[in-house]
Amino acid sequence: MADEIKMKIEEEQEGTQVYSVPFPKDLSQLKDMAPIVIKFPWQVDYIHSYGQDSPWFAGVSNKKLLATKCMDEKCGYVCATPRLACPVCGKEMDWIELPQQAKVHTFTVCHFGSETFLPECPFVLALIEWEEADTLFLTRLLGVDPLKPTLDWIGMKVQAKFLRLSKFKPTDVYFVPAE
């Protein structure tokens, strides 16, 4: 016998094609009619450019983790998630390389999510910090048990790992606990 007896069929969006519906003789009955609900498929291939951020993706494809640094000597702000305009002083920023070891700043375990990522649940999202950078980087954290999360993960030393076959997405790099 099953542990739990199913009492409900989960709703999904498959349906039957219908080309006609009944119609009353008396028009005054129309306002009591149930709403007609139709399915409208919507799919698009969007041609997305990373523009000025593109070198970062070339970097992870070559196992290098890039960041940007403000060219102004007095400022020198470093963005671990690159921007080419300094968020502090507005000057242009330059590309620099970041160390591949860093620390967990915060994290979560996603047990649900957007449609795209549902098959990967549960997965760990983390923001990573570097002593060498003023801002953080959003990434996936692997090598920890997603069913046993603990605040002790914060501050943990982590190591960057790179996909061998690049997808040219920020997930071409991910982090695991450092040895």
Partner 1 sequence: MRPVYAVAGGVSKFAKARPDATYQALVKESFDYAVNDLGIEYKKFIEMCDGSVSSYFSDHFARQLMGGIMATDYLGLCPKPSLRVESGGATGGMCIQEGWKSIASGQMDICPCYGFETMSHVNTWKGNEFIALASDVSWDFPVGGFYSGYYAMMVVRHMKEFGTTVEQLAHISVKNHYNAYHNPYSQKQLKLTIEDVRNAPMVAYPLTRLDICVMSDGAATIMLASEDGVAKLEKESGKRIPKVKLTGIGSGTDMMRMSDRPHGDVILLPNESPEDYKDLKYPGVHSFRAGRTASKMAYEMAGITDPLGQIDFVELHDAYTSSEMQTYEDMGLCKYGEGGDFAASGKAFMPNIDYGLKLKDKSVCPVNPSGGLIACGHPVGASGIMQGVFALWQLQGTIPKHFNDKTLFLPDAKVGAIHSHAGTGTYVTVTIMEKEA
Which residues bind to Zn ion, rule: CB under 5 A? 70, 72, 75, 77, 86, 88-89, 91
Q: Are 109 and 55 in contact (CB under 8 A)?
A: no
The closest of 141, 146, 144, 147 to 159, measured between CA atoms, is: 141
Rank residues 78 and 128 by Cβ distance to Zn ion and give the closer one. Answer: 78
Of 14-22, 36-44, 58-66, 90-98, which part binds partner 1 (CB under 8 A)? Answer: 36-44
Q: Report the largest interatomic distance among the alpha carbons of the chain, rounded to a whole angstrom.
A: 82
Please tell me the distance from the alpha carbon of residue 4 to that of residue 1, in angstroms, as a whole number. Answer: 8
Q: Does 166 bind partner 1 (CB under 8 A)?
A: no
* Cis? peptide before 22, omega within 30° of 0: no
Which does residue 89 bind out of Zn ion, partner 1, none, counting CB within 5 to 8 angstroms by kind?
Zn ion
Q: Does 62 bind partner 1 (CB under 8 A)?
A: no
Q: Are 128 and 106 in contact (CB under 8 A)?
A: no
Of 14-22, 65-73, 112-120, 156-164, which part binds partner 1 (CB under 8 A)? Answer: 112-120
Q: Does 176 bind partner 1 (CB under 8 A)?
A: no
The closest of 107, 108, 152 to 129, measured between CA atoms, is: 107
Binding site for partner 1 (CB under 8 A): 13, 35, 37, 40, 42, 48, 50, 53, 79-81, 83, 87, 105-118, 120, 123, 125-127, 134-140, 149, 151, 154, 169-171
